[in-house]
Amino acid sequence: MRRQSSPAFSRDELQWLDAAAPAVEQVVFEAWQQQRSRQPRPASDRDQPLRAAFEEFGAGVLTPREQEIARLLLRGHSSASVAEQLGISPGTVKIHRKNLYARLDIGSQAELLGLFVQELAGRAGTTDLPDLQQARA
């Protein structure tokens, strides 16, 4: 979703969105199933790997503050929202965001999501994304 005045998505951005689509579809499907049954999904041991991957994403590559900002960005927060959540200026968020993108060798929030999905799927290194496991070494 972009404003009409913004340029069209690039080919790389569309590839990242395509990579994220299966995970998004699964989450939406499960939410829809929960709503239909009107019963909350019980906590499951299957959720733990996802939570752990989310909390550990970027460990050893990013600073703790960059990890915190990455987690908020992965939740869909804008820079302004991140600034508000953390009680820092939007300019400071912009600097942290620039640094974390540089450390991960990415250039957008869509690429950040794609990298997280790739890490989660255990497919790190199968595309041109940086391998966080290798970067930690």
In a domain, 1, yes or no: no
In a domain, 4, yes or no: no
What is the CB-side half-sphere exposure of residue 86 using CA atoms within 13 A? 24
SS3 62: strand
What H or E segment, with its residue span, contains residue 72? helix 64-74
In a domain, 67, yes or no: yes
CA distance 114 to 11: 14
Using one digit for the tens of pLDDT, what is the confidence trace for 73-107?
A: 999 999 999 999 999 999 999 999 999 999 999 99
| Domain encompassing residue 46 | 11-136
In a domain, 26, yes or no: yes
In a domain, 104, yes or no: yes
In a domain, 124, yes or no: yes
Residue type, 45: D
CA distance 82 to 54: 17
In a domain, 6, yes or no: no
CATH number for 41: 1.10.10.10
Name the β-bridge partners of 62: 59
pTM over 0.85: no
Contact 54, 95 (CB under 8 A): no
Name the β-bridge partners of 59: 62
With a cut of 80, say whether residue 69 has pLDDT above it: yes
In a domain, 2, yes or no: no
**How many distinct structural domains can be found in the chain?**
1
Using one digit for the tens of pLDDT, what is the confidence trace for 16-53?
A: 888 888 888 888 888 887 777 765 556 666 677 778 88
SS3 43: coil
